[in-house]
Amino acid sequence: MDMSEHPYVTHIPPMMVNPPRDPRWRGRIAGGAAVLVLVGGGGTAGAFLTETYLNRAPAPAIGTTSGSTVAATSVTEDDDLAPIVAEVQPSIVTVLVDGARESSLGSGVVLSADGLILTNNHVISSTGTVSVRLSTGRTVPARVVAADSTHDLALVQATGLSGLTPVTFAADDTVAVGDTVLAFGAPLGLEGTVTSGILSAKDRSLDTGEEQLTGLIQTDAAINQGNSGGALVDTSGRVVGINVAIATAGDSTGSVGLGFAIPADTVTSVVKQLQAQIDS
């Protein structure tokens, strides 16, 4: 997989709330932060391409709107999240793309009992054979049936499946800054991973240099490469967003508590449009 195809990397100076949005502003700034898309990659030996991935991708700017403030609370040990995990986990899958020399993986969510899967467009944008691994460990062939690069979403149809449990989406106005959220997916290839945190801001914007993702949810739940396309859910087990990018500090590619997700209302609207394309 050519990592230069994935443009969701940028560097911003520390404490800069409204950085410049000129796409020519691409230099690495010492002590700054990097924003990167969350697909994981590996060569024939299965090693993950992390720092290489970060250094090769272009670096557009990241900005925010001023409509929300960041909450500073945290999840307490009294929160019983296990029932939510048990409910949602069967609806989370790993999406794999195996190319001739390299492979990549991301996450996805089940939309239908017969294996229609939602993931990020950047997860399936590389050349290769697509497959889906269920939470049970079973891996089945799949194919991309529709994609929207502008919103970074795609639909994948897994074959030979029935009886899957689709996710349920929340409405954007039912979640607020400070709400507890859980992130599901396969960070760094570690399938079946769940992390918790809060919804820390709304209405964030990411400028990729080619498209601009707006209205994003920000969370401090730990998410990393491989979480792309996974679910961010509320304490009712409803999907409030689809994980798409994180911010990292300096040369690190790990989570520093700044993750971004495409909000549920945007997701459901795009999914309806993609399904209409399939049916037409």
pLDDT of res. 3 = 37
Kindly list the domain boundaries of the chain, sorted by start residue: 92-166
- pLDDT tens for the chain, residues 1 to 280: 443 333 343 333 332 323 333 222 222 222 344 445 555 554 322 222 222 222 223 333 333 333 333 333 334 444 689 999 999 999 999 999 998 888 889 999 999 999 999 999 999 988 899 999 999 999 999 999 999 999 999 999 999 999 999 999 999 999 999 999 999 999 989 999 999 999 999 999 986 556 688 999 999 999 998 999 999 999 999 999 999 988 777 666 677 778 999 999 999 999 999 999 998 7
Can you give the pLDDT at residue 48?
28
Q: Report the candidate in 75, 60, 56 with the shortest Cα–Cα distance to residue 26.
A: 60
CA 253 to chain centre: 15
User: Residue 147 has which token pair?
Assistant: 């994609």
Give the phi and the psi of residue 128 in degrees, each rounded to 5. Answer: 160, 180
Tokens of 212: 């601009």
- The catalytic residue positions are 122, 152, 228
Residue 271: both structure tokens together: 């999914």
Domain 92-166 = CATH 3.90.1150.10: no
Whole-angstrom distance, CA of residue 121 vs CA of residue 119: 7
What is residue 257's predicted lDDT score, i.e. its pLDDT?
78
